[in-house]
Amino acid sequence: MSIDGEPTLLPKRLASDADSVERDLFTLVLTVVELIRQLMERQALRRVEQGDLTDDEVDALGIALMRLEQAMAELRGRYGLTVKDLDIDLGPLGTLLSDG
């Protein structure tokens, strides 16, 4: 609704180009993947600290997490993105990928 109480209409078309839409979608997908990667890493550290894993499992987990981090870096590099570019501002809650 507008200030005078009349409903506001959205434009029939949003001004966008294919490159920006592709980049924005790619950024969103990488943001979700980065969030999941960070959650997996935290869970792995908890399991290591609790002693739930054998030495071989710890080694395999470390290698898998390093490879995932390398893959993420390569994907971010395709569009010149940094981890900071993926960190969505959630307003009063802070940012999505912050270590808080």
Q: What is the pLDDT of residue 77?
A: 93
For residue 9, the model assigns a pLDDT of: 59
Q: Distance between CA 92 and CA 14 in Å, rounded?
A: 28
Average of pLDDT values for 35-52? 92
Q: Domain-by-domain residue ranges, the chain?
A: 20-85
pLDDT of residue 42: 93
Give dist(CA 8, CA 68) in Å, integer: 45
- What are the pLDDT digits (tens) for 23-39? 888 889 999 998 998 99
Which residue would you say has higher pLDDT here, 31 or 100?
31
Q: Which of 5-9, 35-39, 85-89, 96-100 has the highest mean pLDDT?
A: 35-39
For the cut 50, the answer to whether the pLDDT of residue 78 exceeds it is: yes
**Angle in degrees, CA 23, 74, 24, rounded to 5:** 10
Average of pLDDT values for 29-57? Answer: 92
Mean confidence (pLDDT) of the chain: 83
Q: How far is residue 43 from each of residues 2, 17, 58, 70, 85, measured CA to CA in Å?
A: 47, 39, 12, 19, 24
